[in-house]
Structure 1
Amino acid sequence: MKTRDRIIHSATELFNDQGEPNITTNHIAAHLGISPGNLYYHFRNKEDIIHSIFEQYANHLTASFTPWRNGENNLQDLMGYLDAIFYLMWQFRFFYANLPDILSRDELLQQKYLKTQEQMRTTVFTLLNSLREGAFLTANQDDLPDLGHAIKMVVTCWIPFQTAQAANARITKALLYQGVLRVLFLLKPYIHPQATEQYQQLTQHYRQLTQSVE
């Protein structure tokens, strides 16, 4: 792995484990066993590193959420979308946990974030519409934008909401799988009768995951 990639990987790991506000470029360099000067050769400052991490986040968003294949109802496809939600919340949990603070101090990053969210608004609508056309959801097309917005709110706010419930609350995989279950719960009123069994299978699958991971 190239030094630049190692820096991004280690910074993400440290931000996730110890909290982004608690980590400096010196901490990242020490964790990698390189000099601060070597780190600054690749990145100007911590914000520059965060921009690169955000690019990875945005790329995962684009790659992970594509419309339903051939308009068909496919359990594995929907599970893939839900797994992608979990992966993003876990891999970039520091970003979700400190989102307002990170964006408030970096106008350029905020612009990138808003652009990404606008693109996701269209993507989520298209995805939900494909679920409707694939006979998984019965939602009226006019309701899809609000449903998509509600799902985005749950995903974006799940970590800060949970960590605010108790002092020194830990962000665990089990906690994030509970967030995935909340997304499924939002879909529950719109599940097509013929997809009820698949919905129940998905719910049971993620309930089991909350109990099998830490």
Structure 2
Amino acid sequence: MRNRERVLNLSLALFNQQGIAHVSTLQITTELEISPGNLYYHFRNKEDIAKALVQEFDQAVSRMRSEFSHQVNTLDDYPAFLLSLMTLLAQYRFVLRDLETLVLGEPDLKRCFGHLYNSLKALNQAMFDHLNHLDALSIEKEDQRFLADNSLMIAIGWINQLSMVNNTDEHTLILRQGVSRLVALVQPYLKLT
């Protein structure tokens, strides 16, 4: 694995565990056993690393958006897709948790996060549009927009609970509980068959 990928992988783990404000480039270089110059060859600073990770996250969200209509053919497929989305959010949870640290004073990061947030909103809206297309929902267009926004806020809030636990089994449980909450949010709008 190349040093750039190693830096990104370790930084992602450290940012998720400790928060971006508590991780330094010195810590990253020490743990990777590389020189600071080697890190600076790829990234000028910690913010550049965070920006690259936000862009990775955004690309993954875009891929999920294009895959949703292929992976969800019935309403029964919806919870499994939600679990994969929640898993992705958990993988990059520092972005959602450390938002203020990421965007204050960093216009590039703020722009990247804005793009990511719009991608997440578009994915959520596309999911509900597709469920409507499958004739699984009975909902007005305006209410559907609110439902999409509310489900995104719940998902982001739910992911932040992962910061409270260190156990992988608990992470899985929290993700599954989050999916249950998201499904329950949609429940009143489901068409009875």
TM-score > 0.5, shorter chain as reference: yes
* RMSD between superposed Cα atoms in Å: 2.3
Q: How many matched pairs?
A: 188
* Residue aligned with 1:193, SS: coil
- Name the residue aligned to 2:182: 183
Identity of aligned residues (%): 27
Structure 2 CA distance, aligned partners of 1:103 and 1:138? 38
Shift of 1:110: 1.1
Matching of residue 57 in structure 1 with residue 52 in structure 2 = no
Shift in Å, 1:74: 5.3
Within a 5 Å distance, the mapping from 1:139-178 to structure 2 comes to 139-160=139-160, 162=161, 169-170=164-165, 172-178=171-177
1:112-164 CA distances to partner (integer Å, 9 max, x unpaired)? 2223323443342232011012122222223111111101111223344x47x
Whole-Å separation in 1 of the counterparts to 2:104 and 2:89: 20
SS at match of 1:68: helix
2-structure distance, mates of 1:158, 1:70: 23
| TM-score relative to the length of structure 2 | 0.86
Q: Give the gaps of 5 or more residues in structure 1.
A: 195-214
Offset of residue 40 of structure 1: 1.1
User: TM-score with structure 1 length normalisation?
Assistant: 0.78
Q: Name which of structure 1's ranges 55-64 and 97-106 shifts more when overlaid on structure 2.
A: 97-106
Please tell me whether the aligned partners of residues 61 and 123 of structure 2 are also in contact (alpha carbons under 8 angstroms).
Answer: no
Flag the 1:75–1:92 CA change in 2: closer, same or farther, 3 A.
Answer: same
Aligned partner letter, 2:111? Q
Q: CA deviation at 1:188?
A: 1.1
Asked if 1:137 is matched to 2:132, the reply is no
Residue 82, structure 1, aligned to residue 82, structure 2: yes
Contact 1:71 1:134 in 2 (8 A): no
Contiguous gaps of at least 5 residues in structure 2: none
Please, which moves more after superposition, 114-123 or 134-143? 114-123
2:76 alignment partner AA: L
Q: CA deviation at 1:175?
A: 2.3
Deviations 1:9-44 (A, max 9, x none): 110011112222211011111111111121111110
Structure 1, 40-49 or 169-178: larger mean CA deviation: 169-178
Structure-1 separation of matches of 2:88 and 2:188: 25
Q: What is the identity, as a one-letter code, of the residue corresponding to 2:129?
A: N
CA distance 1:18–1:70, change in 2 (3 Å): closer
Letter in 2 for 1:158: W
**Residue 198 of structure 1 aligns with which residue?**
none
